[in-house]
Amino acid sequence: MQLCTKFMKCAFAISGLLAIVTIQTTSVAVPQKSRHQLQIENKRFVSCRSQWNQAKRRDVLHDLKIDPLPPHMFVGPAFYTIPTYEKQEFADAVNCFLVGGEERYIDFDFLDYRTGRVAARYSDGRLEVDLTH
């Protein structure tokens, strides 16, 4: 009985130490952005939003579904008529819009507005177009 009590105290003490170590190692200080950096991101976001709206007007972008994640963009008929470099620019603008102007990438799919099949995939800043469409 006494051995069991000692074991329980040791187990409790070890689990407490592990919790403290885990808390200390997972807490990461998030660097504060400078006013200048926030202005740059805001300016970039405004530009990307403008390109986003233009893509919607041209029916390159047909619809957007964010829930469930990851986001899915449904491309319209104009997506298939624009050159590859414009598709990449469009994908970069969508990414920029989704990340609020920050300089980072998220992965997402462009789906055909009629079939829901993947028409292109954006990953690490690169657009891969499905050529079977």
User: Domain map of the chain by residue range?
Assistant: 35-129
Look over the chain and give the mean of its residue pLDDT values, rounded to a whole number.
79
14-27 CB burial, b ≥16 within 10 A, e <16 = eeeeeeeeeeeeee
| Average pLDDT of span 60-70 | 84
pTM, two decimals, is 0.69
Chain mean position to CA 8: 45
pLDDT at 14 over 70: no
Quick: pLDDT tens for 69-113.
778 889 999 999 999 999 999 999 999 988 888 889 999 999 999
Predicted confidence at residue 15, as pLDDT, reads 42
Predicted confidence at residue 16, as pLDDT, reads 44
| Average pLDDT of span 38-46 | 87
Asked if 67 contacts 120 with a C-beta cutoff of 8 angstroms, the reply is: no
